Structure 1
Amino acid sequence: MRVGFVVYGPLDGRSGGYRYDLELVRTLRAAGDEVTVVSLPERPYRQRLRDNVTAHRRLSDLDVDVLVEDELCHPSLAGVNPRLDDETPVVSLVHHLHSRETHTSWRRHVKQAIETQYLHSVDAFVFNSETTRETVATVTDPEPSVVAYPAGDRFSSFGAPLSDDEIRSRADDGPLRVVSVGNLEPRKNVDGLLRALARVSGDWRLTIVGNAVDSAYEHSLRTLADDLGVAQRVSFTGRLPDADLVATLRESHLFALPSHYEGFGIAALEAMGFGLPALVSTEGGASELVTHRRDGFLVDPTDVSAITDVIAPLCRNRTRLVSYSLAARDRYTEHGTWDEMGKTVRDFLVTCVD
């Protein structure tokens, strides 16, 4: 099978959707498929709209059986798909809808119109969660489609999942160590996490791991930590190599990323493999991963007090922390692998070609 694969920027091991795309391409190639990656330029949203002309030229020249497009690229493709060869099915890989992110009212309407136009232009869908499928269903018919959950087993060679003994011995070690992993942008709501932690009277530390895709937001987080008087407890690491990220997860107690919206939450799943209960948002697909107060916590991202109420007891009661940690590790082991995700998507692509 000859597959065209459209992404923004390089197909590398960045977190979230980029990891999903990378693992899918790896699985397709391992199955003997010929995958041609078309990398569109990463730039501000308005400039991406101008890329429809060059994108059409590049995609028209492809000789493939199926074209897979990361839905993130919709601004550069909304005007392209209707002009492509009708014989080649176009499959959109949807991680989450950009128009569901926090925008000013007029920006939301404009972006929603562009994204809707794009969603109407494709032939089939791959969704990373049932929640994402339901979101698209409010805009257009989501069929034919397949739901293929992301996996978290990329750190299996680094010793994940942790054993019971490793999890128990870590629990009483020092202050409650909280880790947040994700690109630094307003949608991730790290500012809400900082405000919640500032209200916790117990001893804690926060490590913030991720690229500053919004430098102004990163600066605002540092300023907020100073204003709240917690700067000495907060570390900004930037993006970490896998080995360093594994070391951070191994020594942490709790994963926290109460995003305003998240299609699924790959970083949370990876952290659960190291026995970290996941504090995540009720907004998005995390409820398909986390069971509240069993292996993690589902919170309203706008309710700072609710986030505080989850974290504060864990500072004091490490026995309770161990119970959540073991359950988080067990939830991770029950989840599928990247190879299984790739096979699910590949089987679906074969039906699209047939």
Structure 2
Amino acid sequence: LSRRLLDLDADVLLEDELNHPSLVAAHRRLQDRKRFPLVSIVHHLRSSEASPPPLRLLHRLVERAYLRGADGFIFNSQATRRSVELLAGVSRPFIVAPPGGDRLPGPPAAFDIRARAGEAGPLRILFVGSLIARKGLHILLEGLAALPIGAWSLEIVGDGERDAAYAARIRRQIDRLGLAGAVELRGALDDGGLAQAYAHSHVLAVPSDYEGFGIAYLEAMTFGLPVLASSAGGAAEIVTHGETGYLVPPASPAILAEHLLRLASDRPLLARLGLAARRSALARPSWDDSMESIRQFLLSMAPSGAAAPSLSVALGGVQ
């Protein structure tokens, strides 16, 4: 890999930090011979997640070695920036360019959000995320089990193949808690299906252990959904507690249940939070805004001879 990277005709090498295991050794070999700066996109550090101490230590050691070999960073949130600076212990040029919430078609108007909140029937709760333990679906189900059947329904949208054992555990938990009649497992959806799920739902609940950003939170807010999000990580940069949703500590099913019951029983509150969520999301940078910020940052990192129209960016790493 390092030999291939040395042969690149590029002004900047752009890497995804998720590939860090494949890049640590290459960084060491490139340090004295590289002809271009290495810029890393960092979404989320594995060492920020809840994991057994030996595994977390391993993540810290490998990620620190990788991060110290980068010349600049593109972060998705201030929380990710802080975690990288704390772990790496070095200062590098960076930009914080959060994802946009404008990717999906057909977000509802304010009138439709009010009407949706006032519809009779159960509170329609949406979970969007891969079925992996970090996303906290098992915690959400535990909280919902404490609520009256008939007061809520849950639609689960996400890939169940990344961790088949966890997905099977979720199915068993649904059966054990007697929730099968109120829970629907949809699997992964395309953009049109996901947009429909947001538009149909009342509230998004994804109580993760940790999120570097949490794009599902922002997309849901664009569709006028209050969000129940993790208080750990970057969600606090998206969700304002008590105004556009609620920030919930990890592994807190009783707190989740309390907030959901309040939204189920107070539909004017549901409407107010949904409208505030939509306003907040629409005021944030779009994907085009963030991509332009990244382009300008890469130009600033390139050698002084690289002109904007001809900037050559190579992508490094293996999946």
The answer to whether the 8 Å contact 2:224/2:277 transfers is yes
Taking the aligned partners of 2:91 and 2:80, their CA distance within structure 1 comes to: 10
In structure 1, what is the equivalent of residue 7 of structure 2? 61
Structure 1 segments unaligned to the other structure (5+ residues): 1-54
Spell out, residue by residue over 1:97-132, the C-alpha distance to the aligned partner (whole angstroms, 9 max, x if none).
011222221111112111111011111111111111
Spell out, residue by residue over 1:17-62, the C-alpha distance to the aligned partner (whole angstroms, 9 max, x if none).
xxxxxxxxxxxxxxxxxxxxxxxxxxxxxxxxxxxxxx32432332
Taking the aligned partners of 1:224 and 1:65, their CA distance within structure 2 comes to: 52
RMSD of equivalent CA atoms:
1.2
In structure 2, what is the equivalent of residue 87 of structure 1? 35
In structure 2, what is the equivalent of residue 164 of structure 1? 110
Spell out, residue by residue over 1:284-315, the C-alpha distance to the aligned partner (whole angstroms, 9 max, x if none).
00001110010111000221111111101111
- Which residue type is aligned with residue 106 of structure 2? G
Spell out, residue by residue over 1:105-161, the C-alpha distance to the aligned partner (whole angstroms, 9 max, x if none).
111111211111101111111111111111111112242111111111011xx222x
Q: Give the alignment of 1:179-218 within 5 angstroms.
A: 179-201=126-148, 203-212=151-160, 213-218=162-167
Instruction: Tell whether 2:214 aligns with 1:265.
Output: yes
- Which residue type is aligned with residue 290 of structure 1? V
Q: Out of 305-314 and 140-149, give the one that drifted further.
A: 140-149
Taking the aligned partners of 1:209 and 1:199, their CA distance within structure 2 comes to: 22
Aligned mate of 1:220, from 169, 172, 185 = 169
Instruction: Tell whether 2:42 aligns with 1:99.
Output: no
Taking the aligned partners of 1:200 and 1:63, their CA distance within structure 2 comes to: 60
Taking the aligned partners of 2:250 and 2:202, their CA distance within structure 1 comes to: 20
Name segments (4+ residues, structure 1) moved above 3 Å.
Answer: none
In structure 2, what is the equivalent of residue 247 of structure 1? 196
Taking the aligned partners of 1:347 and 1:116, their CA distance within structure 2 comes to: 27
Q: Report the secondary structure of 2:205's partner residue.
A: strand
Taking the aligned partners of 1:331 and 1:280, their CA distance within structure 2 comes to: 15
The answer to whether the 8 Å contact 2:228/2:247 transfers is yes
Instruction: Tell whether 2:92 aligns with 1:146.
Output: no
Q: Give the alignment of 1:16-95 within 5 angstroms.
A: 55-84=1-30, 85-95=33-43
In structure 1, what is the equivalent of residue 63 of structure 2? 115
Taking the aligned partners of 2:263 and 2:59, their CA distance within structure 1 comes to: 41
In structure 1, what is the equivalent of residue 316 of structure 2? none
Taking the aligned partners of 1:244 and 1:57, their CA distance within structure 2 comes to: 43
- Which residue type is aligned with residue 287 of structure 2? W
Give aligned pairs, total: 297
Taking the aligned partners of 1:57 and 1:175, their CA distance within structure 2 comes to: 59
Spell out, residue by residue over 1:180-215, the C-alpha distance to the aligned partner (whole angstroms, 9 max, x if none).
111111110110011111112261111111112111
The answer to whether the 8 Å contact 2:6/2:34 transfers is no
Q: CA deviation at 1:86?
A: 2.5
In structure 1, what is the equivalent of residue 315 of structure 2? none
The answer to whether the 8 Å contact 1:265/1:285 transfers is yes
Q: Report the secondary structure of 2:87's partner residue.
A: coil
Q: Compute the TM-score of the two structures, normalised by the length of structure 1.
A: 0.82
Structure 2 segments unaligned to the other structure (5+ residues): 305-319
The answer to whether the 8 Å contact 1:125/1:142 transfers is no
Taking the aligned partners of 1:220 and 1:58, their CA distance within structure 2 comes to: 43
Change over 3 Å in CA distance of 1:299–1:235 after alignment to 2: same
Q: Compute the TM-score of the two structures, normalised by the length of structure 2.
A: 0.90
The answer to whether the 8 Å contact 2:60/2:87 transfers is no
Taking the aligned partners of 1:280 and 1:143, their CA distance within structure 2 comes to: 30
In structure 1, what is the equivalent of residue 79 of structure 2? 131
Q: CA deviation at 1:323?
A: 0.6
Taking the aligned partners of 1:251 and 1:58, their CA distance within structure 2 comes to: 48
Spell out, residue by residue over 1:47-80, the C-alpha distance to the aligned partner (whole angstroms, 9 max, x if none).
xxxxxxxx32432332111011110100111111
Taking the aligned partners of 2:259 and 2:92, their CA distance within structure 1 comes to: 39
Q: Report the secondary structure of 2:181's partner residue.
A: helix
Aligned mate of 1:350, from 295, 299, 303 = 299
The answer to whether the 8 Å contact 1:136/1:142 transfers is no
> Aligned residues: percent identity?
43
Q: Report the secondary structure of 1:311's partner residue.
A: helix
